[in-house]
């Protein structure tokens, strides 16, 4: 079943109110979306994860110039074969970053087609679902001014609790003193040890400050401490992990089975966080999961894209077995972006909602979604089509 058409859509939506994480200010939400069409007429959707400050045009260019010519005319039902073809073709100028995100988008779309062809959700093609729903955690707590926003961030935590969230991830990395003030205020206001808290500094610190922050939060029983140091500093990850008792998480900026092999060999993390839209798609992340299981590392995907990336992540989360089996084993949880994002709810016909503290995993064929083209047409700034 040949691939006959590759379409790439760049969509952008300026934010009325820009927000910041530790690495800079975000002024727009953007995405690189892919639609593949096969000779049977089946279509599959994929997404290249656009990091907070990443121009979506980079992945779009990689798809158009390097990948589309390679996959056109090839079998749409051979995602693993095509993954290795794409990776090998781009190895000398890819391996990380936007090129890997471009491969991820195509791979996700191929698995979407396969699911529709076999009339099964992607989770079934990957081996079956360990769960049909997942607990979401609120990820937000971005800054509108910078430092000194403790009161506003504390109010945000209370709103998430009222919305039904029982887990939250707080964005830090704005100075250790400011970070500690924010965390103590949030914990005191919630006054509920059953609500799990996580922190994410987006690699704002070197080793010493990362350890100092962790020691300052040693009594918080954090579910994890995310990206304490730069993603390249695997020895730094290991040093932070050795110095602290809390689980250390990372990997949203790591790519492919090769990158994760180095991460695991360095004993760098307790929780691996591949983003399916940048690590290499379903084909790569299933290999990462196998390596994580073999190394006793929990896997909990990073999710910060549009509804397409979220749908792919849900399909993958369905398949993740518990890492440390017990009667009360920790299950993976879903990163649920609560920041301003028009491509989350409006991009698909049936957006999911949290009900009774859970999000249902779609059971329809492929990714289980129907993409709303009106939303794409409203926000697209670039559209390219490549055909046989």
Contact 317, 137 (CB under 8 A): no
- Nearest residue to 254 via CA among 234, 283, 238: 234
Return d(Cα 289, Cα 85) in angstroms, integer.
21
Strand ranges, E, within 24-182? 24-38, 43-48, 133-134, 136-139, 167-171
List the catalytic residues.
302
Contact 352, 360 (CB under 8 A): yes
How many angstroms separate the Cα of 94 from the Cα of each of 10, 47, 110, 200, 318? Answer: 20, 17, 20, 27, 29
For 15, the 3-state DSSP assignment is: strand
Return d(Cα 42, Cα 58) in angstroms, integer.
27
Q: Encoding tokens for residue 306?
A: 């549009």
Q: Is the dihedral of CA 72, 76, 82, 86 positive or negative?
A: positive
How many Cα neighbours within 13 Å face the side chain of 317? 27
């Amino acid at each position: 079943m040949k691939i006959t058409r590759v379409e790439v859509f760049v969509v952008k939506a300026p934010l009325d109110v820009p927000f910041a994480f530790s690495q800079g200010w975000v002024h727009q939400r953007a995405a690189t979306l892919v639609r593949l069409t096969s000779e049977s007429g089946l279509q599959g959707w994929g997404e290249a994860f656009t990091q907070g400050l990443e121009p979506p045009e980079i992945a779009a260019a990689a798809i158009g110039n390097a990948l589309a010519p390679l996959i056109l005319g090839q079998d749409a039902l051979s995602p693993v074969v095509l993954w290795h073809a794409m990776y090998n073709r781009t190895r000398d100028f890819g391996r990380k970053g936007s090129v890997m995100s471009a491969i991820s988008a195509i791979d996700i779309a191929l698995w979407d087609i396969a699911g529709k062809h076999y009339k099964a959700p992607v989770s079934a093609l990957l081996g079956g679902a360990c769960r049909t729903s997942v607990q979401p955690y609120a990820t937000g707590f971005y800054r509108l001014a910078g430092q000194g926003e403790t009161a506003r961030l504390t109010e945000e935590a209370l709103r998430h609790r009222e919305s039904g969230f029982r887990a939250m991830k707080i964005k830090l990395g704005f100075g250790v003193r400011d970070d500690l003030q924010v965390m103590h205020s949030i914990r005191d206001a919630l006054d509920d040890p059953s609500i799990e808290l996580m922190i994410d500094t987006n690699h704002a610190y070197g080793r010493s400050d990362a350890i100092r922050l962790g020691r300052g939060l040693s009594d918080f029983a954090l579910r994890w401490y995310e990206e304490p140091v730069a993603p390249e500093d695997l020895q730094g990850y290991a040093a932070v992990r050795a110095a602290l008792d809390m689980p250390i998480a990372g990997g949203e900026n790591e790519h492919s089975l090769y990158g994760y092999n180095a991460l695991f060999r360095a004993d760098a993390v307790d929780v691996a966080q591949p983003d399916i839209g940048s690590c290499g798609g379903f084909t790569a992340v299933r290999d990462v999961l196998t390596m994580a299981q073999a190394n006793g590392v929990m896997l909990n995907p990073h999710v910060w894209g549009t509804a397409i990336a979220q749908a792919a992540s849900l399909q993958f989360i369905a398949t993740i077995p518990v890492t440390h089996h017990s009667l009360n084993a920790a299950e993976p949880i879903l990163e649920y972006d609560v920041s301003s994002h028009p491509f989350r709810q409006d991009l698909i016909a049936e957006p999911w909602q949290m009900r009774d503290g859970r999000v249902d995993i779609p059971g329809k064929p492929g990714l289980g979604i129907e993409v709303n083209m009106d939303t794409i047409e409203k926000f697209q700034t670039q559209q390219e089509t490549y055909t046989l």
